[in-house]
């Protein structure tokens, strides 16, 4: 009986240790993943400079965050931007911002893609109801560069909604 008790105890200890190690691995893996900040929209009453200020204030240096510019704020992301906008743009890019515009604004002629500075990412809105442009169970269009878009589902939804 003593031997049976020892075998059960050893088995339970091994199982507990495995569970403890298994639960620690995901948090360790998450701790190594770079943090990602939110979405800041230049539009809806916010200037490009104000959206940029919010991004800088709410994200530590090096943390990726997203600044979406809607017309007429998109001028700040063009080669013809005022020097004050260029300074803000360069500052937030150095801090980890991903600069974005809506693909629909390029498509409808509100933005000339040729005038955008390098690195500006066009974002598509949600597809029309009933469309299979985004495969069922997926978050991205098949031809999108996922590395430039948020991993956070709420952030991605916010971008898509603003660009729909």
Q: What is the pLDDT of residues 98-152, one digit of tens each?
A: 999 999 999 999 999 999 999 999 999 999 999 999 999 999 999 999 999 999 9
Q: Which domain holds residue 146?
A: 35-162
Q: Give every CB contact of residue 143 below 8 A, 6+ residues apart in sequence.
A: none
Residues 59 and 10 both lie in one domain: no
| Phi-psi label, residue 109: left if phi above 0, alpha if psi -120 to 50, beta otherwise | left
What is the token pair recorded at 153?
């589902």
Please indicate, yes or no, whether residues 47 and 61 belong to a single structural domain of this protein.
yes
Same domain, 42 and 119: yes
Is 126 found in the same domain as 80?
yes
pLDDT value for 35: 79
Check whether residue 44 and residue 94 sit in a common domain. yes
Q: How many domains does the chain have?
A: 2
Residues 17, 82 within the same domain: no
Q: At residue 149, what are phi and psi to the nearest 5 degrees?
A: -105, 160
How far is it, in rounded angstroms, from Cα 9 to Cα 20? 16
Q: CATH number of the domain that 120 lies in?
A: 3.40.1260.10
Residue for token pair 């509100």: 110
Summarised one tens digit per residue, pLDDT across range 9-52 is 555 445 444 444 444 444 443 444 457 999 999 999 999 999 99
Q: What is the per-residue DSSP string for 20-47?
A: HHHHHHHHHHHHHSPPEEEEEEE-TT--
Q: What is the DSSP letter of 67?
A: E
CB 118 within 8 A of CB 93: no
Alpha-carbon dihedral angle through residues 132, 134, 139, 144, given to the nearest 10 degrees: 180
d(C-alpha 162, C-alpha 41), whole Å? 8
- Note the pLDDT of residue 19: 47
């Amino acid at each position: 009986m003593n031997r049976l008790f020892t075998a059960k105890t050893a088995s339970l200890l091994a199982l507990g240790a495995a569970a403890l190690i298994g639960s620690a691995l995901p948090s360790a893996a998450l701790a190594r993943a770079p943090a990602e900040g939110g979405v800041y929209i230049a539009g809806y009453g916010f200037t490009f400079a104000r959206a940029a200020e919010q991004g800088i204030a709410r994200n530590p240096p090096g943390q990726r965050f997203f600044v979406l510019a809607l017309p007429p704020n998109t001028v700040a992301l063009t080669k013809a931007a005022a020097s004050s906008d260029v300074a803000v743009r360069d500052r937030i890019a150095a801090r980890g911002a991903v600069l974005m515009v809506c693909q629909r604004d390029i498509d409808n002629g509100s933005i000339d893609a040729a005038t955008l500075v390098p690195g500006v990412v066009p974002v598509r809105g949600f597809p029309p109801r009933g469309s299979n442009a985004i495969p069922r169970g997926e978050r991205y269009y098949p031809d999108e560069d996922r590395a430039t878009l948020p991993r956070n589902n709420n952030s991605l939804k916010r971008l898509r909604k603003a660009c729909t």
